[in-house]
Amino acid sequence: SADIQDRDGAAAALKTILRRWPWLRHIFADGGYAGPKLRAVLCKVAKFTLQIVKRTDKAKGFEVLPRRWVVERTFAWLGRCRRMAKDWEKSIASAEAWMLIAHIRILTRRIARYHVY
């Protein structure tokens, strides 16, 4: 919910994620998740390695951060699907289904580009 900080809610979110993807062990996060509190909680959930991706202190202006662009790029691809551009879904199941459909669309177009018969 909105009254829980992302760092505090991360452990609960990862517990849920582990039910679906039990092999997940490496987590990339931005500087907002740094600190011993989250690491201590994650040790209780599973054997995670947490890698904080943050800007260097010497950086001036915009800087592409490693691994961060992967998430941003994926959101941009999904935003091209009109149904995904806004959060219209009333249930999580419906939102997940449309997310899957959007990813299938992206992958089939990519495969079709490379496999011309």
Please tell me the predicted confidence (pLDDT) of residue 77. 78
Pair (56, 91) in one structural domain: no
CA atoms of 109 and 103, how far apart (whole Å): 10
Q: Is 74 in the same domain as 57?
A: no
Tokens 């992967």 -> residue:
70
CA distances from 54 to 14, 48, 66 (A): 21, 19, 9
9 and 35 housed in the same domain:
yes
Q: Same domain, yes or no, for 79 and 51?
A: no
> 73 with 57, same domain?
no
Helices (DSSP H) in 1-91: which residue ranges?
Answer: 6-20, 36-45, 68-79, 82-85
Whether residues 43 and 71 share a domain: the answer is no
Residues 40, 23, 67: CA angle, nearest 5 degrees: 75
User: Does 82 share its domain with 117?
Assistant: yes
Host domain of residue 105: 67-117
Could you list the pLDDT tens digit for every one of the 117 residues in the chain? 678 887 788 888 888 888 888 898 888 887 778 878 888 888 888 888 888 877 777 777 776 676 767 777 777 777 777 777 677 778 888 888 888 888 898 889 888 887 766
Q: Is residue 45 a contact partner of residue 15, using CB atoms and an 8 Å limit?
A: yes
Residues 90, 40 share a domain: no
Q: How many domains does the chain have?
A: 2
Is residue 1 domain-shared with residue 55, that is, in the same domain? yes
CA 59 from centre of chain: 24
Whether 52 contacts 27, CB under 8 Å:
no
